[in-house]
Amino acid sequence: MPNKKKNITVAFTGHRTYRGEAAEPLAEALRELYSEGYRVFLCGMAWGFDLAAAEAVIALRSEYDDVELVAVVPHATFGDMFRGEQKHLYDNVLSKAQRSIVLMQQEGDLAYIRRNDYLVDNASYVLAWWDGKPTGGTAYTVAKARREHLPVRNLYPQLQLDLFK
């Protein structure tokens, strides 16, 4: 189901190796995006940057009650891949999302491609944690967003590319 609020929607994409390195710039970026009118935030629910970004949205919602977090889950058994603290974080984010969308029943590469496509197809802005490597889901999502002429802001500190072109 397409997002009727695409023009006020931000999608997150980033590496699973993210460990909070950009917590302050992430919070600042979310406040800036809110001030520009963005209210809906799509999270692909992977550990690392996705869940950290979702937590930052939950914190933002404590300041602004019109913020909406949408959990975009690639497949029905995706949550079973998490363990320990990551499982707790995943469950917490899922429980605090205003909506959740499960894209496929079966696990597989297609589920992740569909999730990444959904993020770009239903947003008008992408906030990324991308190291610039040309392979993987984050690279795929950033490339698709650029092909679709969406602005992409990259918070990765050693790679401040102009991703708006």
Mean pLDDT of the 85-93 span: 97
152 and 126 in contact (C-beta within 8 Å)?
yes
Total number of domains in the chain? 1
Mean pLDDT of the 105-114 span: 97
Partner residues linked to 70 by β-bridges: 42, 99
Q: Is residue 159 part of a domain?
A: no
pLDDT for 41-74, tens place per residue?
Answer: 999 999 999 999 999 999 999 999 999 999 999 9
Q: Is residue 20 part of a domain?
A: yes
Q: Output the pLDDT for position 105.
A: 97
Q: What is the mean pLDDT of the chain?
A: 94
Containing structural domain, residue 52: 13-154
Q: Output the pLDDT for position 157.
A: 81
Q: Read off the tokens for 35.
A: 């001030």
Q: How many residues belong to the chain? A: 165
Task: Output phi, psi for 121, to 5 deg.
Answer: -70, -20
Q: Is residue 162 part of a domain?
A: no
Q: Is residue 144 part of a domain?
A: yes
